[in-house]
Amino acid sequence: MSMYALVSSGGAAGVTTTALALALTWPQPVIVAECDPAGGAILAGLFAGHLPAPRGLLGVASAIARVLASQPCDVIADCGRLDAGDGQPASVLAGAALVAMVIRPTLRYISAARPRIEMLLELRGGPERLGLLLVGERGHSPAEIARTLGIPVLASLPFDARTASVLSDGVGRRASLADRPLMRAARSAGPAVARAGAGSGQPGLAAAATGGSA
């Protein structure tokens, strides 16, 4: 089965929240792997502190990448912020079927993304199976962003603070999560992520090469 890595270029773009929204709506069994070298938030967030949260597995990241890649179900790896140093789970990023960078569609995030995409291009040896997930609607269009950064936008997720705070911070009502805007959008973003990982063409919202159409 396939491993999909989610990263950001910084600024709390929403990697963890997006990883969880995708996992909770994924059409088949899936594992969420907490690979953020800065320390994860999933157990404290969605699980509201009810599960223990051991840390510090980065030293065995390459073994973890092998284990994750051999799981009998899909894996969504929350790799956190892509840093300039060597503190990233490079083997997970290199081995993933797809790396999706989560950004907000604003200039601040777009310009921070550029050097991080360069890092991913180097790490993975090219632009294949790299994509963007946009969080929030206010800002530049998917087509503009894809054109600027040279990789496709796979999907856009709405700004939905009520649902996001349940996932990221364990705060708020969990009832009827499935009907909320973020989860509805994640339900269609998941297949776009899987398609891009399978390399079956059909980028989600906007193709980098053509400038795409939103």
Ligand X SMILES: Nc1ncnc2c1ncn2[C@@H]1O[C@H](COP(=O)(O)OP(=O)(O)O)[C@@H](O)[C@H]1O
The interface region with ligand X, picked from 14-22, 49-57, 59-67, 172-180 by CB under 6 A, is: 14-22
CB of 72 to ligand X, least distance (A): 27
The nearer residue to ligand X, 96 or 207, going by C-beta atoms, is 96
The interface region with ligand X, picked from 109-117, 145-153, 162-170, 188-196 by CB under 6 A, is: 162-170
The nearer residue to Mg ion, 16 or 141, going by C-beta atoms, is 16
Give the integer Cα–Cα distance in Å for 166 and 169: 6
Out of 156, 160, 183, 212, name the contact with ligand X by CB under 6 A.
160
If we measure between CA atoms, which residue out of 8, 14, 18, 13 comes closest to residue 182?
A: 18
Residues 26-45 that bind ligand X (CB under 6 A): 41
Give the integer Cα–Cα distance in Å for 147 and 184: 27
Instruction: Report the sign of the C-alpha dihedral through residues 27, 29, 34, 40, in that order.
Output: positive
**Chain residues in the site for Mg ion (CB under 5 A):** 15-16
If we measure between CA atoms, which residue out of 24, 13, 164 comes closest to residue 79?
A: 13
CB atoms under 10 Å from CB of 101, counted, come to 26
Residue 7 zone, left/alpha/beta (φ > 0; ψ -120 to 50; rest): beta
Give the integer Cα–Cα distance in Å for 65 and 172: 33
213 alpha-carbon distance from chain centroid: 22
The nearer residue to ligand X, 47 or 159, going by C-beta atoms, is 159
164 binding partner (options ligand X, Mg ion, none; Cβ < 5 to 8 Å by kind): ligand X
Regarding 17 and contact with ligand X (CB under 6 A), the answer is yes
Out of 76, 112, 135, 145, name the contact with ligand X by CB under 6 A.
135
The nearer residue to ligand X, 44 or 90, going by C-beta atoms, is 44
Out of 93, 97, 149, 164, name the contact with ligand X by CB under 6 A.
164
